[in-house]
Structure 1
């Protein structure tokens, strides 16, 4: 009996560091470094959301294959209860390595071996069904896959990747007829990935090395394969590309700040305007020899200007950070729930708070003690 694993909440409390890309994609992080925030960042700032969509679709394809094999094994055990006692039967050879432990805690080594068993079994089915290969090569038109799974997934694309709440569990742990997966659904899922992301000139083509590209096309078009192993190299390539090119910027934007670029630029413009108004007012009061008490009113534009300029420099809104809020799209805020990120942003907010007050006070002192003149 396996020992109980650490729950997600306990893992979050123990993780005294920034999350990795694998943890973000595995839905083991919270806002603002969760998968939904990463999707928004890839869409709005990195402008390369197709790579993330490809990775997610391949992962969903893997989940579909697991569900298919799990259902097949369950149905065979129900029909032939003595199946486990006769592992030599040909019908069970491909399922011997696949265990129905969908409710057990995720383990990377176990999942890897399980995924390999799924791919091996699906390839063996293709090998045993050579006479059905012609049917496999009748590709479905793009966007009309004809399976319940594909219809649900296509409808869900109205909102950016909504299935960020452990979608695998909702699909694989249900015994309802509506969640039954047919072999044709797996083929349709593989073809959809091919026609949407991989083929040259496709709707949302991603850049892949030619060797990987040709290998995927040959496996699906010529060999009639649809097992998840077909996309392994491309998935790893896309993961490394996101980890190298996009993820550092995502952490910089979300773990060290709480503003989106449009808000940052807006604060720059308003900050310069407030600072200019304060400086103009200061020179005016000096030239008209206003009293020091009157010049104290200059603290208002100096505070506003320095606050907005510091917010631009640190990409952080101090007061929203004190309330643990982060902006994921312009003027849309969400609660900061990742513990380590909350501590980081709070430290930077305190530093920014002290800094803009110091700047405002220095400017005020400068213009208060400068002797006035009369025209």
Structure 2
């Protein structure tokens, strides 16, 4: 996360949007890493998120390629003019029209063409796709190899973004592909997305409208297109699906609570066991007419039971919330760094702790002061 994004997180007095999470503009526990873990472990639909990330990386790869091509053409212009002045002049004009391609996270096209990005960025994306379409039809072998070895770079791009990578490697904040980008890299990236997620029966096929999938297959395989606009409809569809079906649950789990489902179920089990022990002890001291100083011991099981049952009900551990920690996998806790989420969890922790205290106090007072009887 850049310094600018960190300042935005500090000043944001609301819950983040899905686009902010996917753009790495948020902090734990509502960051992209936490969302990836949630989609993998709880939503069981991480393939959709992987598809979105791979398409975003494809856009960044295209931007890197055009920037490097523009730089190399500008440097080599004198030699090219001597060899083929007309072709070099045309290429240079096309690259000059592209301007400076931004290396920022590419959001859904409905956001890129809306109010969330300025006109310059929208035009840059459109010019980028138009250039790649025209350049793909006229690319010569010499230019494909001018920016690096196509065989080596194709191997590198095929190894990148494998769905079986760990979240740490997939969610690297760097926008650099780590090597010089060749034209074949873009083609390999587009084919990898197609063969991994979209073709019927593919390894990690995601459910999309049949007409949308057929259109993308025709554009990539028949028309030979690999520009980012090919995947825009599918990317928008996946974004809307995650925004509708997964993201509300993610915010509820991470911004309003700080435990994973297994921990929540265990809290319920501990609460029931503690309640059983507490009620057994309470009835014992009442029916045996024990003095009040002995009856006070029932405060312990009732306090534990009330704490765990309230934690189960509200899906939050008040003590860990006060300490500033959130659970991202079972028994693995990470600091809460998003300021607004931390304030929100502290308020909820205070309320849940108060409810647990009142519950434990009410049960304890009832059995401590109720008149005893000897059976």
| TM-score normalised per structure 2 | 0.87
* Partner residue in 2 for 1:27: 24
* Partner residue in 1 for 2:345: 345
* Partner residue in 2 for 1:8: 5
* CA positional deviation for 1:166: 2.2
* Partner residue in 1 for 2:137: 127
Aligned partner of residue 169 in structure 2, secondary structure: coil
The within-5 A match list for 1:150-299 is 150-154=158-162, 157-160=164-167, 162-168=169-175, 170-171=176-177, 179-299=179-299
Provide the rounded CA distance (Å) in 2 between the counterparts of 1:340 and 1:251: 12
* Partner residue in 2 for 1:135: none
Could you list the runs of 5+ residues in structure 2 that have no partner in the other structure?
81-85, 107-115, 143-151
1:231-283 CA-partner distances (Å, limit 9, x unpaired)? 00000000000000100000000000000000000000100110111011000
Provide the rounded CA distance (Å) in 2 between the counterparts of 1:365 and 1:21: 47
CA 180–267 in structure 1, closer or farther in 2 if over 3 Å, else same: same
Provide the rounded CA distance (Å) in 1 between the counterparts of 2:101 and 2:195: 33
CA 35–81 in structure 1, closer or farther in 2 if over 3 Å, else same: farther
* CA positional deviation for 1:205: 0.5
Contact 2:6 2:26 (C-alpha < 8 Å) held by counterparts: no
CA 350–82 in structure 1, closer or farther in 2 if over 3 Å, else same: farther
* Partner residue in 1 for 2:125: 115
Contact 1:145 1:188 (C-alpha < 8 Å) held by counterparts: no
Provide the rounded CA distance (Å) in 2 between the counterparts of 1:220 and 1:130: 19
* CA positional deviation for 1:164: 2.9
* Partner residue in 2 for 1:74: 71
Aligned partner of residue 167 in structure 2, secondary structure: coil
Aligned partner of residue 17 in structure 1, secondary structure: coil
Contact 2:94 2:131 (C-alpha < 8 Å) held by counterparts: yes
CA 330–81 in structure 1, closer or farther in 2 if over 3 Å, else same: farther
1:87-133 CA-partner distances (Å, limit 9, x unpaired)? 9921124323323365799983333322222111110012325999x
Q: Does residue 368 of the first structure (1) align with residue 368 of the second (2)?
A: yes
1:170-198 CA-partner distances (Å, limit 9, x unpaired)? 33xxxxxx611111111110000000000
CA 228–103 in structure 1, closer or farther in 2 if over 3 Å, else same: closer
Aligned residues: 350
CA RMSD of aligned residues (A): 2.6
Provide the rounded CA distance (Å) in 2 between the counterparts of 1:167 and 1:346: 32
Query: Quick check: 105-114 or 159-168, which moved more?
Result: 105-114
Contact 1:38 1:250 (C-alpha < 8 Å) held by counterparts: yes
Provide the rounded CA distance (Å) in 2 between the counterparts of 1:195 and 1:206: 11
Could you list the runs of 5+ residues in structure 1 that have no partner in the other structure?
133-143, 172-177
The within-5 A match list for 1:88-107 is 89-100=89-100, 102=102
